[in-house]
């Protein structure tokens, strides 16, 4: 496998992930109260949206790169 095929496979995987999940979600903890030994934290959920067109473009680009890489060998 050459570098072009690996890049194509990575793009296909990223495209499928973006189409399936349509976003990345992560959680952070924020300290809201800190009085001596008493502490309170709050969990905040954040989402980074991934538009479906981004997944489709990555998927198609990955397929094109894999096919063109196989034709070149």
Check pLDDT > 80 for residue 7.
yes
How does pLDDT run across 27-67, given as a tens digit for each residue? 999 999 999 889 999 999 999 998 899 999 999 999 999 99
Q: Tell me the backbone φ, ψ of residue 22, rounded to 5 degrees.
A: 50, 30
Check pLDDT > 70 for residue 72.
no
Looking at residue 71, its pLDDT comes to 72
Looking at residue 3, its pLDDT comes to 85
pTM of the model: 0.67
Domain ranges for the chain: 3-71
Residue 61, SS3? Answer: helix
């Amino acid at each position: 496998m050459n570098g072009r095929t690996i890049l194509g496979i990575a793009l296909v995987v990223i495209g499928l992930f973006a189409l399936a999940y349509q976003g990345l979600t992560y959680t952070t903890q924020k300290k809201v109260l800190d009085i001596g030994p008493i502490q309170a934290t709050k969990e905040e959920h954040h989402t980074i949206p991934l538009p479906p067109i981004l997944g489709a473009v990555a998927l198609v680009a990955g397929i094109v790169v894999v096919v063109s890489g196989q034709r070149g060998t």
